[in-house]
Amino acid sequence: ETGVTQTPRHLVMGMTNKKSLKCEQHLGHNAMYWYKQSAKKPLELMFVYNFKEQTENNSVPSRFSPECPNSSHLFLHLHTLQPEDSALYLCASRQLAGALLEQFFGPGTRLTVL
Amino acid sequence: QQQVKQSPQSLIVQKGGISIINCAYENTAFDYFPWYQQFPGKGPALLIAIRPDVSEKKEGRFTISFNKSAKQFSLHIMDSQPGDSATYFCAASLSGNTPLVFGKGTRLSVIA
């Protein structure tokens, strides 16, 4: 696998379920991000991890819980979601303070909350 | 200070025409300005990027024009093709440890 991978690609869950989204980057980057993309707000930054440490949480409800066990993996744990949380969840990574500034995105997980 | 404003929201261009998408930013400390292209069902992919020390960068049919004094930058797609139909996002960041700040996107449709 190359680049940034995300699993699952599609997820349907009820409001009482607990599920997790997984992201893995194979680029040797040291920063990883979760974005939410919906029709109303195209690309919302949710969480920022630099060197495995969470440095930013953009007022995301506590029903979303991120986890970064190492610099290559990022999880988004979901519980008691609402229908308005239905969106495309994108993971991205980049190399901090390096010569290459490109931020790479995964293909996303399409989440539907019933 | 962190906003990037993108226009138009949608754009329809004839095949062979020029597509132009504009962005404006507020934070004068931004020093990296990429454009991303996103097809349905895919994540955004970097198309072209520019640093503020140059006023223009061209890669194939895609050109970024950058106006530092006006705090504006734009994407020009020459000889637009139906395969260019996608959503385009401009973005900006500080080249250090900050994530990208994105515009709201422009949905481009190139019709034959």
pLDDT tens readout for residues B62-110 = 999 999 999 999 999 999 999 999 999 999 988 766 788 899 999 999 9
Per-residue pLDDT tens for A43-83?
999 999 988 788 877 789 999 999 999 989 999 999 999 99
Which pLDDT does position B97 carry in this prediction?
67
* CA nearest to A41, candidates A105, A93, A84, A91: A84
Q: Which residues have C-beta within 8 Å of that of residue A38, sequence separation ≥ 6?
A: A44, A86, A87, A88
Confidence category of residue B111, pLDDT binned at 50, 70, 90: very high
| Residues forming beta bridges with residue B65, ordered by sequence position | B56, B74
B→A interface, C-beta within 8 Å? 32, 34, 36, 41-46, 49, 87, 89, 93, 95-97, 99-102, 104-105
Task: Write down the pLDDT at residue B96.
Answer: 62
Instruction: Tally A–B CB contacts below 8 A.
Output: 54
pLDDT one-digit tens code per residue, A5-35: 999 999 999 988 899 999 999 999 999 999 9
pLDDT at B54: 92
Contacts of B102 in chain A (CB under 8 A): 42-43
DSSP string, B30-92: --BEEEEEE-TTS--EEEEEE-TT-SEEEETTEEEEEETTTTEEEEEESS--GGG-EEEEEEE
Per-residue model confidence (pLDDT) at position A54: 82
A16 min Cα distance to partner chain B (Å): 27
Residue type, A99: A
pLDDT tens for residues B4-38? Answer: 999 999 999 999 999 999 999 999 999 999 999 99
